[in-house]
Chain A
Amino acid sequence: MSATSRVVVVGAGTTGLAAARELLARGLDVDLVSLAPPRRSVVASSADAIAAARPDEGPEGIAAHFADSRRPGAGAIEDAALRALLASAPDLILRLDALGVPLSRDETGASVRRRGSGHRRDRLATAGPQTRRAVVEALDRALTVEARSGRSHLRRLEGWEVVAIVVDDRHDCAGVVAQDLRSMEIHAIAAGAVLLASGGFAAAWSTSSAAQGALGTATAAALRAGAVLADVDAVELAPLALVGFAKRHAISDALRTAGARVWAPKDPTDVRRGRDVPSKERRDLLGDIDREAEGLVAPAEAARALMRALYRDGVGVFDDKHGVLEPCAYIDLVHLGGALLPEARAEVTRIASITGIDLLAQPARIAPAVHATLGGLDVRFELGAGGELAVESEIHHSTSIPGLYAAGGAACAYHWVDRLPGQRLLTSLRGGEIAAASIALRCAREAATEAEAEAEAEAEAEAEAEAESEGSMLVALRAAETAARKDYGLLLARRGDDAARPLRDELGAALDTLVGLSVDPPELGQLESDIATIAARASATCDPQDGATSANRGAPAVRRLEAVSLLARAVTASARARQGDNNDGPSCKVLIRLEGDNLIVSREVRNEDEAR
């Protein structure tokens, strides 16, 4: 059977599940390749609500949502895409509700929305800290049911890692090469289209609050295959993340909405415990900007204010044990006296169970953290006649490689700058669905062309050309498979003085200075060469330190380090290109592609009358 009706979806999180379900419903076969089963992809803190205008608000509510979400400097296409995304949000809430996601309701059964920082209306629907889990479970079940209908075929490849994106000699995406992390076998998978729903790479930063696995291996593979990245230096910051643990634990926006205070002792040498500092000796760090905005400022703005205070103005909490001022502040809920909404209470319970800290009894130390990457694979959208987003188009969510699509955290699509609470789930779910619709259109067109070619088979040359194209796809896949097997063999045999863990720590610390999460000011030139050195060591002297023939953990870890250090190089190059920018903002899109081993940077101005 021809591969045109088969789609590889990389990643089984919210984006991948939503996309796979849509693809199956549209009659395409899906290979869902993921590092872990869907339920293991869940990180509670990553998204605990979905933002959408309430149905009773009508179009005006959507306009208001857009006004809150829009950032200056966006181009016409981005605006149209964001508008369409927000317009489809109320419907998404209804559908999630119908799938059994227990989104908040009151006693009468009516849907309840809460306020979130940066939102000027109540529009967050939530199922508490477990919202993302509930969404993943509901979609996973729905996907199984969709597959049972028998219209199309779903194959789940769980515990597989994509190591290469294959492009044939016509520059079309032909499929992927993936490795089973249990048996360590490497196979090529042919596909008419590939969707990267593999998330971002926020775990590259040391000060990250993301899951360990968020390293962008598939994104790096796409970059190597010739795809273009956009704005990879843009990150979403969680303003409040508990420090002093294996990673920074991001705290839900629900606590800030509930009235949490963020403060630091006025005296930077104060050695008292947080709860013993009297209130007049506390410096409120977010109160002023919130009052000025007449509401809670968006998380990104809060994070920037905190970073200015902690890393520039010398505010912090004195660590008596080590005799240094730690760049962190306190989050404080003690004054609320335990009067909390159920959601906020659930978040307090969650934090207590993972860290042992009872936020209602004592203030806890926090600092901003890198929560997610906002840049990623550059994807395109098509505008309709009226300047709105085209209703359906095979261009939506397409990358620079024909047949390769990206959505969710892997793509730079709707939010290349500050993102509001609840927008992340919306972006990933709708992004996945829209990308799936585009892929279905592409596959249908390809199938039609193929059928046409077959019908005209008497024209011998045509048939030959067709056979040739099919052949070129297979040749490319086989070559990529052989190359990947050889690379893996070489990697296993590699010996050197470096190990993946310490190198990753070095890389993470270097990246921290770049986003301002460090007292050291970024010196981009130096940083660029530091990161290039780390990347070179990762791919030359980093020893897997593991020779196991099954369930090998060392070699994949080195491979991920190689991938993430390539992305880190792209991040620095991107930041450097933006540095010379006068308006230093989102109005300029920084694009990056790889030629040989060199990153080629180009800039594109986002303007109001942009048209493609």
Chain B
Amino acid sequence: MTDDVDAYIAGAFEHPTRDAPDKSIAQLHAEVAAGALEDAGLATDDVDGYFTAGENYQVGRYPPLAMADYLGLDVSYFDSTDDGGSAYVNHVGEAAAAIAHGKCDVALVTLAGRMRTYERDQPEHDDTILQENFERIYGAETLPVYALAARRHMHEYGTTSEQLAEIRAAAAHHAQYNEHAMYQEPVSVEDVVESRTVSDPLHLLDCCVVSDGAGAFVVVSEEVRRQLSRECVAVLGHGAAVEHHDAGRVDLTRTAARDSGRRAFSRAGVTTDDVDYASIYDSFTITVLQTLEDLGFCEKGEGGAFVEDGALKAPHGVLPFNTDGGGLCSNHPDRGGMTKVIEAVRQLRGEANPEVQVPDADVAIAHGTGGYLGTRHAGSTAVLGRVGR
């Protein structure tokens, strides 16, 4: 028997109900969460890891975000691997691995289902998306909730449309060298602010492209790496975080990047000064601006000034970003995090398009923003490093 134990199960709770026609799926998740934590002698504030299979998205889109919001969790690690009935056993292993790697200390795993109610009653009410109910009735889609974040940032910090436009202009500058980019034409600040307003204060050119696409990468062990001739890139650190309604205390100027970045940089043992290239999720220009601030590349509220004067332009800007043209100009196939990782790898291998290759790029970051800045979102930051040929 090994004495190298990484993790232990401290509490467990099975809901006594076998028939719950009057409870929402999310509510059942919450009830067993309370039961298991009580059994363990822990409180929600102790929870920093959360796993749910999401059960066919019955708790809402992006299940771990939906439930972190509902439960009011502040977590540094979350996962929603759904391989059916075995998922929860997998979560034991995944939680243990996360704990062993220092990603979290208290991981909560929940399941809820109402198959009996659904088979018997074909219920009139579809309560499986409780929180989205309070958004879709108001037309609170992706675009306007990001616009709300932009509005608030402008109000608090004096950020201007022209400053947001600098971000699109820098992305377009890079996209002209990417033969696969959806839009390859250079774009000026004037072009952006003169494009039509789609949800004020955001203009059409503040928004990412809508494309089809795909991507993949492979992560290997040190042992495997040694056997490969291809240059590998080191995963120096990673951090994750969520932001949500916070029981109605949402702060539209704060993103999950603040905590995900801090965790990733700490693990990697680097600072923002060490970063040579940044892939920053760019669903909208405001996403980039707030992320730059929260990752610590400038003070909170100074993102507008930071992006002026070509700071983001490769190869010689202060912080070259999204050198493939990013989601704003090149590719955003529903979800943009994949291309963020891929371009960071290209930069560290010296394989970006020559006009935008950052000389001697040793440290890069890839930051993803999932969900919606205005309601609930996840931040995920990876710090990557050149290993050398």
A interacts with B: no
Q: B-side interface residues toward A, CB under 8 Å?
A: none
